[in-house]
Amino acid sequence: MIAHVRSSLRLQRFEAVAVTLATVVIGGAVLITVVRLRAIGLSPDCWATVFGDASLSATRDACADPVQRFLELNESMASRLISAMAFLPLVIGLLLG
């Protein structure tokens, strides 16, 4: 069994390295994006004030800027990374299949 795994890995060395590298790069980009989104400091109260219940204590004007920055970063980075994470298993299957 181990001999089969070794010979398969030897034949598909480039594909295995490419898949590992792509996974690490996308995972690192996701972690960086999460840190940047959390650094904005958007509270659930601000989110609810802007998009939901206006009776909460947070004021709409104070919350507009953090919500806008969060939405811009989410639109520019997070949506692309989610698409890449959805597409990566297909690429892995095509390369190693």
pTM to 2 decimal places: 0.73
The contacts of residue 60 (CB under 8 Å, 6+ apart) are: 49, 50, 54
Listed as own residue / partner, the contacts of 7-14 with beta carbons closer than 8 Å and 24 or more positions apart are 12/95, 12/96
The Cα–Cα gap between 45 and 31 comes to: 24
Q: What is the pLDDT of residues 29-81, one digit of tens each?
A: 999 999 998 998 888 878 877 777 655 555 677 778 888 898 899 898 988 99
**CA 77/CA 36 separation, integer angstroms:** 10
